[in-house]
């Protein structure tokens, strides 16, 4: 996040990133090495050395980072594995379809969200192509949390 917030302002030392993001330096070094190998960041040597993004934050999507660091986006399996299970396991087909739908929804959000969208906490990110009914959802959620859900919604 710090690299995105300070894009085009020069390289930032690992120590400074770790401090601002409240991450252990060793952990951060491993992540930055993976990002460097994937050519998302570059290291700069010398007194003003450190790391910086190779591309604009608006060109780096969360899906790209998550796939690099954690592997497939789906917590259950990747899309191809789920499609295979849907076709060959009739007894659990509906469950695997739900897992695939969850994976596809998460992928859509992560693929449409860039570092620029989330780098500045003060900026507001507009939903992309999603229909939001926030007030109604919040009122229903608060009623459910308090144990007062409308009939048929518990």
28 is a domain residue? yes
Provide the CATH number for the domain around residue 43: 1.10.10.10
What pTM does this model have?
0.67
Domain that holds residue 30: 1-54
45 is a domain residue? yes
- Helical axes 93-111 vs 79-88, angle rounded to 10°: 160
DSSP, collapsed to helix, strand or coil, labels residue 12 as strand
97/25 Cα distance (integer angstroms): 40
Q: pLDDT in tens for each of the 154 residues of the chain? A: 889 999 989 999 999 999 999 999 999 999 999 999 999 999 999 888 899 999 999 999 999 998 898 887 766 667 888 889 899 999 998 988 998 898 888 889 999 999 999 987 665 555 454 444 444 434 444 443 444 444 444 4
Domain count, the chain: 1
34 is a domain residue? yes
Assigned token pair, 17: 């990133």
50 is a domain residue? yes
pLDDT of residue 81: 86
74 is a domain residue? no
């Amino acid at each position: 996040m710090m690299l995105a917030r300070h894009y085009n302002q020069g390289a930032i030392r690992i120590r400074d990133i770790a401090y601002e993001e409240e991450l252990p330096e060793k952990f951060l070094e491993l992540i930055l090495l993976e990002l460097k190998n994937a050519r998302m960041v570059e290291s700069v040597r010398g007194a003003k050395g450190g790391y910086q993004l190779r591309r604009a934050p608006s060109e780096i999507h969360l899906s790209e980072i998550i796939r690099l660091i954690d592997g497939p986006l789906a917590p259950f399996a990747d899309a191809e594995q789920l499609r295979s299970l849907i076709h060959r396991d009739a007894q659990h087909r509906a469950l695997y379809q739900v897992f695939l739908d969850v994976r596809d929804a998460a992928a859509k959000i992560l693929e449409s969200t860039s570092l620029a969208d989330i780098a500045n906490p003060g900026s507001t990110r507009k939903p992309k192509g999603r229909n939001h009914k926030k007030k109604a959802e919040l009122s229903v959620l608060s009623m459910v949390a308090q144990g007062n859900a409308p009939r048929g919604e518990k």
